[in-house]
Amino acid sequence: MASKATFSIHVAKENLKFSAAHFIAYPGFREPLHGHNYQVGVYVEGRLAKTGYVIDFGLIKKLTKEIVDRLDERTIVPAHSDCLTVEGPRDGVVRIRYENDEFVLPAADVCIVPIVHSSAEELARYIWEELAKVLGARGALKLVTTMEISVAEGPGQSAHYRNSTGGI
């Protein structure tokens, strides 16, 4: 009889953080542009390899840090918004329009992310997808069954995205 037991690791190091500006917008509503000091955590579940690992802590830390560094000190702009028009980067700027408002930001200060809203929930899913992609490309998900990403906007306030790795 095959064992259904799994092992897990959790990584929530101080350096897995990013500071970013954002605003939530949907038809008829837009928050003011504001920022957070986000903290990211990674939870990985799976079977134990012959090495004694589910997955190497060092690899998770390194790859997650690379992902969050792309968001750090940027304004997060959702590429798939149902109410924002995003133009650029062109001539060194990104233009974002919402109803009668327009933001013109230096392109170097913007991170356009393939999400609908710049919520902590969607950022958690985005980071999950990016991490799963790079881990899968390295063949590092063979024994991993589930991965969860947490994105905290502040102490005691976090969103989580959990999904099966589906044999990536």
Q: What 3 state SS string does the chain have? A: CCCCCCEEEEECCCCCEEEEEECCEECCEECCCEEEEEEEEEEEEECCCCCCCCCCHHHHHHHHHHHHHHHCCEEEEECCCCCCEEEEEECCEEEEEECCEEEEEEHHHEEEECCCCCCHHHHHHHHHHHHHHHHHHCCCCCCEEEEEEEEEEECCEEEEEEEECCCC
Domain contains 86: no
Q: Would you state the pLDDT for residue 93?
A: 97
pLDDT at residue 140, rounded to an integer = 87
Q: Identify whether 92 is part of a domain.
A: no
Domain range enclosing 44: 7-77+111-164
**pLDDT of res. 143:** 86
Q: Within a domain: residue 83?
A: no
pTM for this structure? 0.93
Residue 90 forms part of a structural domain: no
Would residue 89 count as lying in a domain? no
145 occurs within a structural domain: yes
Residue 2 lies in a domain: no
pLDDT, tens digit (0-9, with 9 covering 90-100), for 25-65: 999 999 999 999 999 999 999 998 888 989 999 999 999 99
Q: What CATH number does the domain containing 64 carry?
A: 3.30.479.10
35 within domain boundaries: yes
Q: What is the mean pLDDT of the chain?
A: 93
pLDDT cut 70: percent of the chain above it: 97
Q: How many domains does the chain have?
A: 1
The string of pLDDT tens digits covering residues 77-113 is 999 999 999 999 999 999 999 999 999 999 999 999 9
